[in-house]
A and B are shown apart, each in its own frame.
Chain A
């Protein structure tokens, strides 16, 4: 075992570039956010320390609570529909000749450019200038909070559905065919096989998607930026977008850093809960 220790060291060196970049551009900002949050800072002039005042202000800010509510609402819409549609589509295409094609097609929106995709959506579905508006009753999603949220949710689903279908499908393939066969021999109808044999076995897939989906719900505010800009009346201003707006439209970077810190704590709590959930599977 000559040189094993040396080799160990060498392997460690191999990890250095990745660790270095993550260190400077991930871990360092991750810690710095706490320091930034004690500043009043516009990004132009020198920062001025204000202690914990930003946090006090944040928790008294009705806009903050409104965006907590919007995030919650968004999650409540996105998660169940994401899960249901992923399972439904994966079941529908399982074993069909077009299975591969459908998976490829559904995966496409997640890869193409958000800017282009939202442009296509916008020109198609805008209530005033949209191409479909001339012959379909398009709800005024630029004015009605409900429809604005529906639009952002639909866009998010459209982008990530392919991923959900892939996950469910991979787990479907892992179900031993004998189980399904046995149920059939015992006289179960196709619906019953799905309900009592297949669905319970998909539990791990559902848990996994729940994890991915909740992170998604906390972070996906690009759709909000591109489609509604948080409007109307803040109905779609989810936390991520709230932070963006504070920092880069109102130029209150210190305050935005405080909001980021709160959001990070929230995300870590969710991640921790998920870790527990995944361990159970």
Chain B
């Protein structure tokens, strides 16, 4: 009974993924018949249709923007976490930003970007995300589990603070940095509303583009699923590679 229930829940949760992978290769005849029972088939046609819609350049654009954001966010978080660990009293500041979801600031952020003349430039997708309190929290939690004596020993050996951080502390928390980076990447990759308002169609990220595609072709499951599948793959691969570390890092942040 228990196993069956768990199995059903997992199945229900994963169903959209299975469906995405299945429908992405479904021949259009079956799609247009509107009935899945009318047959099986395998085709790459949906994939080919992605190119004229401009899918691939979007994918690479999104990869580099989200990648740059993840890198910058981990770097600023590493520095800030080190400051916190050394007793700089800023924890309250980060906690406060953590309590206010960034989504709520959409309108004023738009106004500020307007003042800074950053609207409709790639910078609008980058700069606002270069620091995240959540990433700081994750890295800080990882650092706190290290013995502080490490830092003191390195200081006695005459190493400067920058050197201590980058050659002693950073390698030790590296797995957590990777996990935090993946989460940062995922969070940025998933933004829909912000890129939609902050930049024009030229700089739309993949997610915005897919949401738009779904409005234009609501009945073309094949095309939509192919787009969805290939926009999910980068994240899926990252997640499968680092799954254990990500779940652990998350658990660490929960316990603290």
Q: Which of B83, B111, B189, B192 has the most CB of A within 10 A?
A: B111
Task: Answer whether residue A151 sits at the interface, using C-beta atoms and an 8 A cutoff.
Answer: no
Pairwise interchain contact B197-A108, C-beta atoms closer than 8 A: no
| A22 touching B228 in the complex, CB below 8 Å, given contacts A108-B239, A113-B207 | no
Distance to closest chain A CB from B168 (angstroms): 14
| A113 touching B104 in the complex, CB below 8 Å, given contacts A25-B109, A123-B19 | no
Q: List 8 A-B contacts (CB under 8 A).
A: A7-B86, A11-B88, A17-B76, A25-B128, A108-B239, A119-B227, A170-B255, A219-B104
Partner of B225, one of A10, A25, A123: A123
Partner of B5, one of A92, A111, A170: A92
| A215 touching B224 in the complex, CB below 8 Å, given contacts A92-B6, A129-B218 | no
Task: Answer whether residue B39 sits at the interface, using C-beta atoms and an 8 A cutoff.
Answer: no
Q: Which residues of B contact A129 (CB under 8 A)?
A: 34, 218-219, 221
| A36 touching B229 in the complex, CB below 8 Å, given contacts A122-B214, A123-B221 | no
Pairwise interchain contact A11-B87, C-beta atoms closer than 8 A: yes
Task: Answer whether residue B56 sits at the interface, using C-beta atoms and an 8 A cutoff.
Answer: no
Partner of B6, one of A96, A225, A264: A96
Q: Which residues of B contact A96 (CB under 8 A)?
A: 3, 6
Pairwise interchain contact A121-B97, C-beta atoms closer than 8 A: no
Pairwise interchain contact A218-B101, C-beta atoms closer than 8 A: yes
Residue of A nearest to B35 (CB): A134
Task: Answer whether residue A180 sits at the interface, using C-beta atoms and an 8 A cutoff.
Answer: no
| A120 touching B13 in the complex, CB below 8 Å, given contacts A19-B93, A215-B99, A260-B105 | no
Per the bound structure, the CA–CA distance linking A225 and B6 in Å amounts to 31
Pairwise interchain contact B128-A92, C-beta atoms closer than 8 A: no
Per the bound structure, the CA–CA distance linking A46 and B84 in Å amounts to 42
Pairwise interchain contact A36-B228, C-beta atoms closer than 8 A: no
Pairwise interchain contact A102-B207, C-beta atoms closer than 8 A: no
Distance to closest chain A CB from B181 (angstroms): 13
Q: Among residues 36 to 78 in chain A, which have CB atoms less than 8 Å away from a CB atom of chain B?
A: 36, 41, 43
Chain A: interface secondary structure?
helix
Q: Mark B188-209, 1 if CB is under 8 A from A, else 0.
A: 0110110011000000001110
Per the bound structure, the CA–CA distance linking A48 and B246 in Å amounts to 48
The interface stretch among B141-149, B170-178, B230-238 is: B230-238
Interface residues of A (CB under 8 A from B): 7-8, 10-12, 14-22, 24-30, 32-33, 36, 41, 43, 89, 92-93, 96, 98, 102-109, 111-124, 126, 129, 131, 134-135, 158, 161, 163, 166-167, 170, 174, 208, 215, 218-219, 221-222, 225-226, 240, 243-244, 247-248, 253, 256-257, 260, 263-264, 267-268, 271
Task: Answer whether residue B2 sits at the interface, using C-beta atoms and an 8 A cutoff.
Answer: yes
Q: Mark B19-61, 1 if CB is under 8 A from A, else 0.
A: 1100100000000001111000000000000000000000000
| A115 touching B10 in the complex, CB below 8 Å, given contacts A131-B19, A215-B101 | no
Distance to closest chain B CB from A37 (angstroms): 9
- The tally of CB-CB contacts under 8 A between chains A and B is 273
Pairwise interchain contact B251-A170, C-beta atoms closer than 8 A: yes
Residue of A nearest to B219 (CB): A129
Q: Mark B57-81, 1 if CB is under 8 A from A, else 0.
A: 0000000000000000001110110
Residue of A nearest to B128 (CB): A25
Distance to closest chain B CB from A129 (angstroms): 4
Pairwise interchain contact A124-B19, C-beta atoms closer than 8 A: yes
Q: Which residues of B contact A92 (CB under 8 A)?
A: 2, 5-6
Distance to closest chain A CB from B112 (angstroms): 5
Q: Which residues of A contact B97 (CB under 8 A)?
A: 22, 26-27
Pairwise interchain contact A18-B136, C-beta atoms closer than 8 A: yes
Pairwise interchain contact A253-B111, C-beta atoms closer than 8 A: yes
Q: Which residues of B contact A14 (CB under 8 A)?
A: 79-80, 82-83, 86, 88, 161, 165
